[in-house]
Structures are given as C-alpha cells and as structure tokens.
Amino acid sequence: MSKFVQFSQVTVLSCVCLLSLETVAKAGNFNFDTVVNNGDFVPNTDRLFNSYNPPSVNNEGTVVFRARSQGGSGQPATGIFTRNMNSDTIAPIIPVMTRGQEVPFPNNTMATFTEFPSFPRIDMNSNRVVSRGQSDPVWELGDGTMLGTSGVYTNLGGLSTAVNQLGAIAGFERFSVPGTTPGTRFDQFPGSPAITMGDTLVFKGNWTDNLGNPQTGVYFRNLLDNGGLSPVEFIADSNTLIPGTATEFGSTAPPSAAKDQAVFVGVDNEADPTLGGIYLSSLLDDPTELIPLVSIGGLADLVPGGLKSIGEGLSFDGKSVAFWGDWGDETFTQIVACPEEGNQGRLQFCLDESDNPDNPNGIGNGMFEFEVSVNQGIFVTDIDTMETRLIAETGDDFSTFVFWNFSGRVPGSENEEDGELARWRSSAFLGVSGSQVAFKGTTGPDMETGEDGIYIQLGRNLPLTTVVETGMDGSLLDPEAAGLPITSLAIEREGLRNGWLSIAASMRNEEESWAGIYVTRTTPEPSVKVALLAISLWGFGAIVSRKKNH
C-alpha cells in the first residue's frame, strides 16, 4: 500500500487534513521518464555513465546534471550535461563542459578541466546553465607564475567564464572582489552558483583580506552588460552587519536566485548561530538592502522557542523560499558510514579518518557518529506576505530530513573541491515551485527501520504524497531496473519547477546495480485534480466552521 505522510502543524489559514488513502494520488501514479542511466554512453566516448549528482530542471523541462563514467584504464569521463525532456522526439544528451575540454578565455596555457565539484544549476526561464569547474592553471605571468585553477562557467555564447581567480591581474578587474582593496582576487567559489534572468550569475566567494584574514561573501555579476566586461557586484560579506544588529555576518551560504532577486542564509556563527537568518536581495535595485525573511529564534508561533538553526540550501522560485530548520535542544545520535563508491582517494581518506583518534566523530571501521536535532521541519515562506508554513516535521511520520555526504579535498591533491580537506557535511534536500513543495526525508519515528523517500505537497493545504521510497522496485522509475530495490534517492533545490520533478536514484541487490536520473510531471491528472479541489474546499470549510463555532 502507498505510504502517505501527514503533517500535524501549520500556520494561519492552513489546516490539518486527516484523509483516507483513496482521496489523493497514490505513490506509483507518477510516471517517470529516464533522462540518463547506466545504459547510456557519455557523449563522444565509449564509456557508459554510472554515477550521478542530483539534477536541476527549468520551467520547460530541460534537465542539467553532473555525471561520470567508471574509471576504467584512466580517468573517468566526467562532465555537465543537459537533456530536453519536453520534446516530441527523443532529444540527445548534450555535453556542456567535460573533463579534458579546454577552459574558455581567459586561458593562455591551454589548460583543461579536471573536475566539476558541485551540482550544476539552470535558469528558471531559459537554458542557461552554470557550474563550478576545476582545471589546470589557466594563466601564466611573464615571470612564469601559474594562476587560476577554479572558476564558474556558463553556456552563454558557447562556453564562457563567468568568474574566476584572476581578479588580481590587470585586464581582468571584472573578476575582482568588490568593495575591497583594488585587485583583490577570489580564492574559491564554494557550493553551487546560481543563474537568473538568463545573464546574471549569483554566487558565494571566499577571499583573503590584506591582513591575511579569510573572508566570505555573496555576490553577483551580469554576464552581458558592457560587452561582457561588467564587474562583480556586492550583496553582503563577512564585514556586513546583520540587519538590525551590531554584529557582522560570520558565515554566508551559497545563494539561490530567481527572477531579479536572490536569497541566502547568513548568521553570526555557523556552528552555533544566535543571530541571522534568511535574507532577500534585489539584483536590480539596491542589492545591499537586505530584507529579513526568517530569523534565528523566529517562528515561535510555529515551533516551541523559535528556530535554533536554518539549513544553507534554499529553494527559491521568486515568490516563495523553502528551507530546513530545527528547534529545541533535544538530539539523537546518527551513525553514518563511508560511501562504497566514488573517488578512491577520498574513500580511503574517509576510512582513515574513521580510525583517526583526533577525529571526534570517528568510531572506526568506516563509521562516524553525529548528534542531530530531534525537532526538524521543512518550511516555506511567502516573500510577499511574509507568511511561513510548516510543511512537514519530525515525529511519528519522519525521523530526519538531514543527510550526510563526505566531500572535499584529499590530502596531497590541490586541485579539487573547495580547497578544504574532505569531511562530512550534512544537508537537507528540498524544492519549491508555486504551490508545490518536494523534499527528501526518512520515515519515522525510528530512522534505523525507516525508509528514505521523496515526498511532495501537490498544493497548498493538501496532505503529503509519497513520490518514491527506498525499498520500492526500481521499475517504478526505470524499466531497466525491474527487480532491483531502490537503495538511494536524491533531489536538489532546483529539482522541482513548473510541474517538473527531477531526481537521481540508485538501485542495487547483491549481484547487480543500476542508477540514473529521472523526471516526472507533478501536475495531477484531471480526476485527481477534482479530488484535490474537493480536499482544499473541505479544508477551507473546516476552517470557516471552526471560526463560527468560536
């Protein structure tokens, strides 16, 4: 039987709808199409795909994803690819940038890409894609100094450089850190950059001030203005006062962007925040005028004592922002294990860290333990009305919305990830588009026996619906995975747009494995729409009735 997860607490004008399972769309009613799977060849190679990051999708159904092949006799084929899933014909998989491809100008060394450290993103209303890229040094100075191993790249006018580490070199001032000593360059671009309005990059950048202190901030750059020479512009950084306080941001997270606005999380202390929250910036007006949307300690009307912390990964559609938050002091111990697949050097480093007595979380044999908040929720805030709704919370239905990933630089390697040594990072995964909200969660109340799944609220005030869960048969996603149980699922913050839901999944048993990226339409069928409308009207009638009775 399909599993339906109900929420128990919402804000004003929302309702708790206790409904029969036959009332709403059942799990398995989502018809998935394959974007790419292990049976597809990496374009221009003789190697099959076998590993995928969570995809992003635009309003018209074009999916962008990072994927790689097995290593074989050499380096795996790795790259950023797109595929149009809204075509009357079978559209091809299109490479945007790939390992071994020459980095676009500026590049006077014929440097090539070596890795793409984070998931790519796509503009909501166009096919413009952005992705971080690592490479060999792209620029050689007259004295032989080699510079520039990291940047952000886009498919604007062919492949082009959106921003890189060459801002200290004359002629490349457009890549400099704004509001600093002239010629200050960016050190790195952590997380996943975003693009909006077809030509505007929004990103997080790390840099070092003239005293040698590490700094971080949120920035944007129009890629077409002034003949493509417009500079990076400032939103906020480590020297910006948190609005309404005399305290500077100690941490800013990678932003999300839609239409002409951007949102980001900024707090005083990343490890133990007491000030800060989610902020909105207009990219066309004064981008430094930050509008607080949700604050640490806020939403006390929804959760006891208000929010304790807010997740960095924000999904934003220009109207609403979806986010993870927790509250209270109660925690539980979560045990995570080193992954079995991926970069072999990183896997070995994970195993080594598990046995390292100086690692406070390592417990040996590839295992780690972390303290995780018992009280967690998935929220959506309307940026116009400032109303926040609690979409789902931990308890009887869910045990956690937090998932762990071991990523970063392996000792001895200087040319990958964010420059930080590999470590465990925790994230919540969700997406919002219009009245629909999707997220990943583990069913509760005991996560040891729960399943991981993708769940969706198909419209405001509607109960949650299971899209797919681990343990289900792989044929629900991919006919070629029939008979294999689904073992992992992933969604990212631009995985839900305009009724398109795109996810990554793996299927495995003791003898075989399969994986891929899949897309479905979340717009209900006509018969389901009638049922959903009836539910919505029933909920509204219940609210009116309660008001009359009180």
Q: What is the pLDDT along the chain (550 residues), one digit of tens a residue?
A: 333 333 222 222 233 333 332 323 344 489 999 999 999 999 999 999 999 999 999 999 999 999 999 876 678 999 999 999 998 888 999 999 999 999 999 999 999 999 999 999 999 999 999 999 999 999 999 999 999 999 999 999 899 999 999 999 999 999 999 988 888 999 999 999 999 999 999 999 999 999 999 999 999 999 999 999 999 999 999 999 999 999 999 999 999 999 999 999 999 999 899 999 999 999 999 999 999 999 999 999 999 999 999 999 999 999 999 999 999 999 999 999 998 877 788 899 999 999 999 999 999 999 999 999 999 999 999 999 999 999 999 999 999 999 988 887 788 765 444 556 788 988 999 999 999 999 999 998 887 889 999 999 999 999 999 999 999 999 999 999 999 999 999 999 999 999 999 999 999 999 999 999 999 999 754 444 555 455 455 544 443 443 334 4
**Per-residue model confidence (pLDDT) at position 524:** 52
**For the chain, how are helix, strand and coil distributed in percent, rounded to 5?**
10, 40, 50
Under 8 Å between Cβ of 483 and 507:
no
Using an 8 Å Cβ cutoff, are 401 and 378 in contact?
yes
Q: Are the C-beta atoms of 165 and 147 separated by less than 8 Å?
A: yes
Q: Residue 26: what pLDDT?
A: 41
Q: What residues contact 499, with CB distance under 8 A and at least 6 apart?
A: 433, 436, 521, 522, 523
pLDDT confidence of residue 124: 97
How do strand 331-337 and strand 320-326 relate by DSSP bridges? unpaired
**CA-based nearest residue to 322, from 195, 466, 430:** 430
**Three-state DSSP class for 510?**
coil
